[in-house]
Chain A
Amino acid sequence: DAGVIQSPRHEVTEMGQEVTLRCKPISGHNSLFWYRQTMMRGLELLIYFNNNVPIDDSGMPEDRFSAKMPNASFSTLKIQPSEPRDSAVYFCASSLFTGGVSGNTIYFGEGSWLTVV
């Protein structure tokens, strides 16, 4: 079974350039998450969608970051303009939210390793 698919796996870009990260969630999942991971700050939730609708973007660091989910099988995270402090691993994850108290399994992609120089 295909898991969460992210692209690119690695990207090196110059400061000021636009970066677009892409994600294909697991088919049938209704929730999608974008996380950022750094050594200093750990795994931070940036934004999550339910049924393609952004529910909470309070984790998005600033206006340079934007995320979209035009349909159930695709999402993008865009950084424009990029800065060196944006260097991190960006994870996309998806889940089938059922509303129960027991929590739902989040399935992560392999991550997009971004370096801004």
Chain B
Amino acid sequence: TQLLEQSPQFLSIQEGENLTVYCNSSSVFSSLQWYRQEPGEGPVLLVTVVTGGEVKKLKRLTFQFGDARKDSSLHITAAQPGDTGLYLCAESTSGTYKYIFGTGTRLKVLA
């Protein structure tokens, strides 16, 4: 069974700080997605990365897919309280409908 480990588990930072969270797998990803979940809601897709070494930017968020496609990172620049939430990575096995989610990083940005 594919395991997706995320680190850190919890992160509490001040507004304006930068941070990076990580997603690692025991095997090669077909593709990888990052979701954000706010309290009381379901996860919402942020980005999908497919190619090893790929970098995608979404405003202050930068997503990177490892060259070997076994890891990914999410970097947030100048974090804001609105970034608070649970960040989840998810892997979908190519050609199937199956999506497995990581353990999650719970981020709190203090004003």
Contacts and interface: CB of A to CB of B under 8 A. Distances in A.
Interface string B75-94: 00000000000001010101
A96 B100 CA distance: 17
Contacts of B103: 42
A99 B94 CA distance: 8
Interface of A: 4, 31, 33, 35, 42-43, 45, 48, 50, 55-56, 91, 93, 95, 97, 99, 101-106, 108-111
B41 A103 contact: no
Interface stretch (B20-28, B42-50, B56-64): B42-50
Nearest to A48: B97
A91 B30 CA distance: 24
A56 B30 contact: no
B97 A102 contact: no
Nearest to A44: B101
A111 B42 contact: yes
A42 B102 contact: yes
Q: What secondary structure prevails in chain B residues at the interface with A?
A: loop
Chain B: number of interface residues, binned into ranges: 20 to 34
B97 A97 contact: yes
Given A42-B101, A102-B50, A93 B42 contact: yes
A97 B48 CA distance: 15
A50 to B, nearest CB: 5
17 contacts: A35-B101, A43-B88, A43-B104, A45-B99, A55-B97, A56-B98, A99-B95, A101-B94, A101-B95, A103-B32, A103-B33, A103-B50, A105-B33, A106-B43, A106-B90, A108-B41, A108-B44
Q: Which of B32, B43, B45, B104 has the most CB of A within 10 A?
A: B43
Contacts of A42: 101-104
Contacts of A55: 97-98
Contacts of A105: 33, 45, 48
A101 B30 contact: yes
Given A45-B100, A103-B31, 12 more contacts: A33-B99, A42-B102, A45-B101, A55-B98, A101-B94, A102-B50, A103-B30, A103-B92, A103-B99, A110-B40, A111-B40, A111-B41
